[in-house]
Amino acid sequence: MIASSFPRETLLHVVKTLPAAPQILARLGHLLLDADSDLEDITALLRCDAALTVRVLRIANSIVYNTGTSFASLEQALARVGFSEVYRLTGFAAAGQLADRHLALYGIGAARLRENSLLTALVMEGLAEATETDPRSAYTAGLLRSTGKIALDRLTRDPAYSGSYEGSGGAPLAEWETTFTGVSNCEAAAFILGEWRFPNCTTEAIRHHYLPGTGAPAMAHLLNLAAGGADRCAHGLPGEMSYWELTPAKFAAAGVTEEQLDAATRRALEHFGPLRAALA
């Protein structure tokens, strides 16, 4: 099927079928900005989703966060992990819940999608530190940049669609998606994260990160470099390689050097193994 348009209502319907965890992550971000919030408020929010609670507790009990006695409850885990680390921990759990199945449209397994999201987010953290970018927004952009792929995969399970990227002949992914569904995964992700009330800086970074031209937010350039870093570490996704060319102009727009990108990628890889095991 060749799509000529992508009605907003259709995408909203798909959004309703996605796990609730990313929406809770967005609410958590707002909650952490409120000076009056406390650990009790955060615990109550996370308990809105039983599956997310289980994932958070499992990751908290992994070697990434726990080197002693296992945490018996969510309250204990969050208290020991620390207020500043709650968002990051919840983000890992939300990403695991969102990327929970094979994407037939792209020929991507759940584990491959999770690993790409995780490594991109970790590289983004390093680049944020190098540029004084808000680390939470940068991390979120890396972690959730493929949300649009998940939504488009669900959409195209409808029998009206016939085809997959694997049969496209290697066309640039966004061009193929726009022809096939009427929207690219970047545009879909920006729309969905906007509906979930993530900050505009995060949604716009994802929208523009494939081809961040003049006028694109600096974080879009950072996300392009971070996703390219994951790709060069053999954790890329189909159809995206052509977007990750390293150029002097791209480094200048992002405000980082190639050496800083290499350093951020090395640090990300140091944490990647244990976190990947925790998310499996």
pLDDT value for 69: 82
Cβ pair 219, 201 in contact under 8 A: yes
Residue 7, pLDDT > 80, answer no
Q: How many C-alpha atoms does 9 have within 13 Å on its Cβ side? A: 0
Is 76 a domain residue? no
Residue pLDDT, tens place only, 144-170: 999 999 999 999 988 878 889 998 888
Per DSSP, 280 falls in state -
Structure tokens at 53: 């609670």
2: confidence class by pLDDT, cuts 50, 70, 90 = very low
27 domain residue, yes or no: no
Two structure tokens written together for 210: 């494939």
In a domain, 229, yes or no: yes
pLDDT band with cut points at 50, 70 and 90 for residue 18: very high
* Residue 142 burial (10 A CB sphere; 0-12, 13-18, 19+): buried
Q: In the structure encoding, which two tokens stand for residue 58, read together?
A: 């499992």
pLDDT at 70 > cutoff 90: no
Parent domain of 123? 8-19+100-279
Q: Is residue 25 part of a domain?
A: no
User: Hey, what long-range contacts does 270-278 have (CB within 8 A, 24 or more apart)?
Assistant: 271/64, 271/122, 272/115, 272/118, 272/119, 272/122, 274/62, 274/63, 274/64, 275/64, 275/92, 275/118, 275/122, 276/114, 276/115, 276/118, 277/62, 277/63, 278/58, 278/59, 278/62, 278/63, 278/64, 278/92
Helix axes 258-279, 86-98, angle to 10 degrees: 70
In a domain, 122, yes or no: yes
Is 5's pLDDT higher than 70? no
Residue 133 covered by a domain = yes
User: Does the residue 83 lie in any domain?
Assistant: no
Q: Is residue 84 part of a domain?
A: no
Nearest to 21 by CA among 51, 61, 1, 64: 51
The CATH number that applies at residue 223 is 1.10.3210.10
The answer to whether the Cα torsion of 80, 133, 18, 157 is positive or negative is: negative
What burial class does residue 67 get, using C-beta atoms within 10 Å of its C-beta: 0-12 exposed, 13-18 middle, 19+ buried? exposed
User: Over 80: is that where the pLDDT of 3 sits?
Assistant: no
| Higher-scoring residue by pLDDT: 234, 11 | 234
What is the mean pLDDT of the segment spanning 233-242?
Answer: 97
Q: What is the pTM of this model?
A: 0.93
How many domains does the chain fold into?
Answer: 1
